[in-house]
Structure 1
Amino acid sequence: MTDTVGRTPAAGRRGGPGSSPGNLCTRPAAVASCVGFVLIGMLQALYGPAVPGLRSEFGLSPAGAGLGLSLHFAGGVAGVLAFNAVHSRISNRALLAAGYGLMAAGAAGFALAPNWQLALAAAFLCGLGFGGTDYGLNQLFAVGFGDRSTAMLNVLNAHFGIGAVLGPAVVAWAGPDGYAYAFGGCAVLAGALVPLGSRGVRTAPPERSSAAPAASLGLPRILLGFLVLYILNVAVEAGVGGWEPTHLETVGYTATVAASATSVYWLMMTVGRFLVVPITLKHSPERILTVCAAGMTVCLLLTLVKGVAPVAYAGVGLFIAPVFPTGLPWLNRALPQAEHAGAWVIAASMIGGVGAPPLLGVGIEASGIHAVPWLLTVLSAASLLATVRLIRLTRSIRPVRPTRRYVE
């Protein structure tokens, strides 16, 4: 009989030097974590469909209404860094409960705010919880399932995509003026996850031993490599999502086809994370990320061909899907002594997601909308080079396993 996922009670209670960290949550806790990722996916996806209702409610311009999502992302970056800073002093359970609590308060505040200033403050508060939960669950799954961590991270992040699909559907069902009900529903779900989402999670964070000097020599270069890799991949991800419909309309597709193709792109990101799960059990993250980067680059080149462009964009979604969750176990293995590495790359990915679309817009203004595939291909090719470079760096340095000790 097991009390943690796939391990007997005695097997995962504490680890010594060179031992696996073991599984850090029960099956019900793993399921609750997936529900948590559905929740953060829904919250992020609600702001866009809510814009018409927000403009009507508060008399906003389109740019003003878009500040809600910007504040949410700003809170997300702050949440990742803040929760990482306190993680060594609080338990995994307390960290997750705080993240869900902040999301509950922020979503409720956004739904009930009497003016736009309070709504923006609530969006930032919600973002803090979003970032903390995103960081906490990704870190927990990255070290908490042993050899299956890569597979479980892809399952976890696939549920984000499910939430991102459900969020706009809820607003469409409630109507633009009913956005408050959608945020209110998310607040209720987040509130329920405060006690339920952290139950079954081991209470103590890892205690990491100091690594050998030889292992730390390459730390700055490796960490910089992962930061570049994540920023480039999220830039491609956000760039396709933001500019695909405009590009397809420019080359002759109808607005309906362009919008549908973009929806398929996001759907393929969710499907791709589920499809890669059995592959992660047989192949290393390095090999998977190399294939993904090469596949993305080829698909983006194919978007230059009008007849296959929508299908090629769907292929980009399929190949880019595993990158974010698959890279985290590789990062933890390559830099076991770097306590804040995971937080930095998660924060960098959020910054890349915010900054990429407008920066691509500057390039498009200079070169024309037909340059979209070329600009995205350059970013994707750069991510392939970054992946190859990281493989060489991590192979040249023999990592030292940290001492990890977990307490129930």
Structure 2
Amino acid sequence: MNLTRRPGWAPVLLSYATFMLVGLNAGVGGVLIVSQMADYRVDEATIGITFFTSSAGYMLAGATAGALLHRVHVRMALLIGVGVYALGAVAMAVRPAFAILVAVQLLVGYGTGILESILNVFLAELPNSTTLLNRLHAFFGVGAFLGPLLAAWLLQYLEWTSVFLVLGVLCVPLATGFLLAYPRKAPAVEHADAPRPTGMLRDALRSPAVVLGSTFLAVYVGLEIGVGTWAFTFLVQEHGEPSVVAGYTVSGYWLGLTLGRFLISPLATRIGMSAAAMATACLVGVTAGAAVLWAAPTAALATAAFVLLGFFLGPLFPTAMAVTPQLVPPRLMATAIGVMNGTSLLGGAGLPWLAGWLAQHVGIWTLMPFALVLSVVQLGVWRLMVTRGGAGPDRVATPEPAAPGRQGLS
């Protein structure tokens, strides 16, 4: 980015509010899917088609975010993202035919993917980016926590379509905020020697740092969602926990993940720990947590270990985004973050499915050794990422110092 001055708090706060909206969108799905199946008279496999179209839109956003930033400024890119998402939300609010509902998920996935990618790029370029990005993703957790509550409350009085109407309406103040808070500048990424957008995507995919970063995030998201999806079954079947207690434990896991994003990075900043060292410490914590859960003799110890596992998992995704500008050339940074953000969804879809397959054919006890293997893979990929990417593990600092020309936003 062509950064010329330090931004005020308004763009940063708007970034947090936007991630809360993305979290709300993710959180309402689990509550609304039952009403949608009943309304359209379809089964689980049929409604599941919407997951694939939404994922396709999200991955398309990741692949094109860098090219978009090379053509328009940050404000316009955010307006495109929120506009596409709002269009999809309003289309669902009018209760379209099922085929259209499936197709509309492309808009929802693309809109949320653009918003996530652009805001990750925006905050990654600011001083103290690691802490800012951890807070950004923590607000996604806040939205995901509030989403089911909002959906359940509205369903007491209105149809499921009302939830998407509310989400669409929330886009209006966000779009207004983007217009007012983000400056009107020429294209956000200006490099005389910058290649064409197709060239940027090709070069990003050939970068070892991008390949390793994408692999790391795919494994991370698969581990995060896999544990969150199957933890309830694991606690009930392996430890004999009552359903209510198991449900509270799963909530504690997600709460721990959110708190980790709020608390760990500021603490690392205070003691002078680099971002790479902080992430390595968290990865060790994740590995230890998975090992404790595998060997836990009591339900109480398993419950505590789940919360700690979530706590140490929390900072990993945003920290990977924060170090990316130091691992790739500036002209590839936006594309690299978009690709990493988009491909993370592959792990989020495939690895939880694999965990469920193992649970069905071998036993739910396999969840913890499965998580342990993924945590070890994460640790190895992370070390390769920060060393082969050109920045040694102790050179990726937290907070990122403000450099000349990197004190504002384009």
Structure 2: 5+ residue runs without aligned partners?
Answer: 195-202, 397-402
Alignment of 1:58-207 (within 5 A): 58-143=40-125, 145-146=126-127, 148-175=128-155, 178-202=159-183, 203=185, 204-207=187-190
2:214 is aligned with what amino acid?
A: L
Cα distance in 2 for residues equivalent to 1:335 and 1:316: 30
Secondary structure class of the residue paired with 1:49: helix
Cα distance in 2 for residues equivalent to 1:320 and 1:404: 29
Larger RCO, structure (CA 8 Å, separation 6 or more) = 2
The verdict on how the C-alpha distance between 1:244 and 1:209 changes in structure 2, with shifts beyond 3 A counting, is farther
Q: TM-score, normalised by structure 1?
A: 0.86
Q: CA deviation at 1:294?
A: 0.6
Structure 1: 5+ residue runs without aligned partners?
Answer: 1-13, 16-20
Bigger Cα displacement from structure 2, 95-104 vs 22-31: 22-31
2:213 is the counterpart of 1:233: no
Q: CA deviation at 1:311?
A: 1.4
Q: Equivalent pairs: percent with the same residue? A: 26
Q: CA deviation at 1:360?
A: 2.1
Q: CA deviation at 1:319?
A: 0.4
Q: CA deviation at 1:209?
A: 6.9
Q: CA deviation at 1:179?
A: 2.3
2:279 is the counterpart of 1:286: no
Bigger Cα displacement from structure 2, 75-84 vs 170-179: 170-179
Q: CA deviation at 1:279?
A: 2.8
The verdict on how the C-alpha distance between 1:404 and 1:29 changes in structure 2, with shifts beyond 3 A counting, is closer
Q: CA deviation at 1:236?
A: 0.8
Per-residue deviation, residues 285-335 of structure 1 (Å, max 9, x unmatched): 110110111100100111121421121111111001001111112111121
Counterpart residue number, 2:337: 342
The verdict on how the C-alpha distance between 1:118 and 1:387 changes in structure 2, with shifts beyond 3 A counting, is same
Secondary structure class of the residue paired with 1:316: helix
2:312 is the counterpart of 1:319: yes
The verdict on how the C-alpha distance between 1:128 and 1:396 changes in structure 2, with shifts beyond 3 A counting, is closer
Over the aligned positions, Cα root-mean-square deviation in angstroms equals 2.7
2:227 is aligned with what amino acid?
A: V
Q: CA deviation at 1:70?
A: 3.6
What is the count of residue pairs matched by the alignment? 383
Cα distance in 2 for residues equivalent to 1:194 and 1:128: 16
Q: TM-score, normalised by structure 2?
A: 0.86
Q: CA deviation at 1:29?
A: 1.9
Counterpart residue number, 1:352: 347
Counterpart residue number, 1:5: none
The verdict on how the C-alpha distance between 1:23 and 1:132 changes in structure 2, with shifts beyond 3 A counting, is farther
The verdict on how the C-alpha distance between 1:334 and 1:40 changes in structure 2, with shifts beyond 3 A counting, is same
The verdict on how the C-alpha distance between 1:81 and 1:198 changes in structure 2, with shifts beyond 3 A counting, is farther
2:244 is aligned with what amino acid?
A: T
Cα distance in 2 for residues equivalent to 1:220 and 1:164: 33
- Answer yes or no: is the 8 Å Cα contact 2:4–2:406 preserved in 1: no
